[in-house]
């Protein structure tokens, strides 16, 4: 599976097209449904297995891995604590076993930015005789073009406003892509801006609805362990970069040297540093994920946030070292390492970003 999507990755990176064929390959391997709970007929993959799945997909194409991560995360949350309308979720599961069904949250807004930094949504859900009418614009909605369900965070227009997540079918009238994703890395992730214009949904298609206030804001500690699989995804990118670095080192034979640069002290030392960085990060991520799955009460949300901070730092640094040693070839368009270098820059961008995570960790550390 990893090899097949890796072969498609350069083309998707160049075109920025939605990676439908690669996602179909992932689905055929049974990975898009891996986290569906056993009570729903799924495998019930938990945090460590999710991390290992995304690590491998990330080695092949991190854009595909990121789209898959959003769906896997949705099923994992439902398995841990059911909150969808049962009949609706049963239908989603049935369809998911038959074809790639993609789900993602739509939370970031042009004015608000990421909810990880606090604040409440401007997107409005208006009551209608039959349900809700949803209007507003969301940014960076990964996989937007191929989503079967948008999980839209919005405020109600009731006399006493509430905040909730509204379950919107992807084919609903009134959904438009209004800003195209054109970033340095993860170019095939399709993280477009999406505008909802009076999109009608049934009354019961809402989850987690509650009072308008600080308690409705995103709790970065509560979901900390779910960031471990995301960290693993980018470590997969770094491992792919490492693999190319090794291939180059064995194949490159300068005329003045007479043997592969892999035999030089300079390349061996850098190879060692890259391996130490990635091995340590993987121990933190996979080890932490295993402790979460085991119900280890001594493993705190702050440790999970810290593992992701260090994993992101190590992954970025490892790829930078490989590029630096290769010089111009490492930054040549069409070279896999150049693409890995661009993709790994996206690792620290995901919410909660490093400063928010460190603030949370430091607040806990300084609490008497």
82-88 CB contacts, 8 Å cutoff, 24+ apart: 83/207, 83/208, 84/167, 84/207, 85/167, 85/204, 85/205, 85/207, 88/167, 88/204, 88/205
The C-alpha atoms of residue 88 and residue 125 are separated, in whole angstroms, by 20
pLDDT at 111: 87
Any idea of the CA torsion for 51, 54, 58, 64, to the nearest 10 degrees? Answer: -150
The 3-state secondary structure of 77-130, one letter per residue: HHHHCCCCCHHHHHHHHHHHHHCCCCEEEECCECCCECHHHCCCCCCEEEECCC
pLDDT at 116: 62
Cis peptide upstream of residue 227 (ω within 30 degrees of 0): no
pLDDT at 112: 81
Residue whose token pair is 């990676």: 19
For the chain, the first-to-last Cα distance in angstroms comes to: 49
Express each pLDDT in 209-232 by its tens digit. 988 655 445 567 777 888 999 999
pLDDT at 305: 95
pLDDT at 218: 59
The C-alpha atoms of residue 309 and residue 231 are separated, in whole angstroms, by 8
Cβ of 122: how many Cβ atoms within 10 Å? 14
Cβ of 277: how many Cβ atoms within 10 Å? 23
Give Cα 99 distance to the centre of its chain: 21
All residues at 6 or more sequence positions from 211 whose CB lies less than 8 Å from its CB, including other chains: 160, 162, 163
CA triple 73-107-85, angle to 5 deg: 55
The answer to whether the CB of 89 falls within 8 A of the CB of 36 is: no
Question: What would the DSSP string read from start to end of 147-185?
Answer: -SEEEEEEEE-SSS-EEEEEEEETT-TTEEEEE----SS
pLDDT at 225: 84
The C-alpha atoms of residue 191 and residue 143 are separated, in whole angstroms, by 6
Helix (H) / strand (E) element for 66: namely helix 62-80
What is the pLDDT tens value at each position of the chain, 368 positions in all?
Answer: 999 999 999 999 999 999 999 999 999 999 999 999 999 999 999 999 999 999 999 999 999 999 999 999 999 999 999 999 999 999 999 999 999 999 999 999 998 867 766 678 999 999 999 999 999 999 999 999 999 999 999 999 999 899 999 999 999 999 999 999 999 999 999 999 999 999 999 999 999 898 865 544 556 777 788 899 999 999 999 999 999 999 999 999 999 999 999 999 999 999 999 999 999 999 999 999 999 999 999 999 999 999 999 999 999 999 999 999 999 999 999 899 999 999 999 999 988 899 999 999 999 999 99
pLDDT at 215: 45
The answer to whether the CB of 261 falls within 8 A of the CB of 254 is: yes
Any idea of the CA torsion for 81, 85, 89, 91, to the nearest 10 degrees? Answer: 160
Any idea of the CA torsion for 272, 315, 50, 76, to the nearest 10 degrees? Answer: 160
pLDDT at 210: 86
The two tokens of residue 205 are 């298609």
The answer to whether the CB of 220 falls within 8 A of the CB of 360 is: yes
All residues at 6 or more sequence positions from 256 whose CB lies less than 8 Å from its CB, including other chains: none
């Amino acid at each position: 599976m990893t090899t097949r999507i890796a072969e498609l990755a350069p083309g998707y990176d160049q075109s920025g097209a939605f990676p439908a064929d690669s996602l179909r390959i992932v689905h055929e391997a049974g990975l898009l449904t891996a986290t569906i709970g056993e009570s729903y007929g799924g495998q019930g993959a938990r945090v460590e297995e999710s991390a290992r799945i995304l690590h491998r997909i990330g080695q092949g194409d991190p854009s595909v891995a990121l789209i898959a991560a959003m769906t896997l995360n949705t099923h994992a949350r439902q398995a841990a604590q059911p909150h969808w309308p049962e009949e609706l979720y049963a239908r989603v599961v049935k369809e998911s076993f038959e074809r790639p069904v993609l789900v993602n949250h739509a939370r970031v807004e042009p004015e608000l930015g990421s909810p990880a930094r606090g604040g409440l949504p401007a997107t409005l859900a208006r009551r209608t005789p039959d349900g809700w009418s949803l209007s507003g614009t969301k940014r960076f909605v990964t996989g937007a073009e191929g989503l079967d369900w948008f999980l839209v965070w919005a405020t109600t227009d009731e006399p006493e406003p509430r905040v909730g997540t509204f379950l919107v079918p992807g084919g609903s009238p009134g959904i438009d892509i209004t800003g195209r994703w054109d970033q340095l890395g993860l170019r095939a992730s399709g993280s477009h801006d999406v505008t909802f214009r009076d999109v009608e949904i049934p009354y019961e298609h809402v989850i987690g609805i509650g009072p308008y206030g600080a308690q409705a804001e995103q709790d970065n500690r509560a979901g900390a362990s779910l960031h471990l699989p995301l960290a693993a995804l980018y470590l997969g990118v770094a491992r792919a970069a490492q693999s190319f670095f090794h291939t180059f080192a064995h194949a490159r034979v300068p005329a003045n040297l007479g043997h592969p640069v892999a035999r030089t002290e300079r390349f061996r030392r850098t190879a060692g540093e890259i391996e130490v960085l990635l091995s340590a990060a993987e121990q933190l991520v996979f080890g932490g994920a295993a402790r979460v799955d085991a119900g280890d009460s001594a493993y705190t949300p702050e440790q999970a946030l810290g593992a992701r901070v260090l994993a992101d730092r190590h992954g970025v640094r490892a790829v930078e070292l490989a590029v630096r040693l290769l010089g111009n070839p490492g930054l040549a368009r069409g070279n896999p390492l150049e693409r890995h270098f661009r993709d790994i820059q996206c690792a620290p961008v995901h919410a909660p970003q490093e400063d928010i995570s460190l603030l949370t960790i430091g607040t806990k550390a300084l609490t008497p």
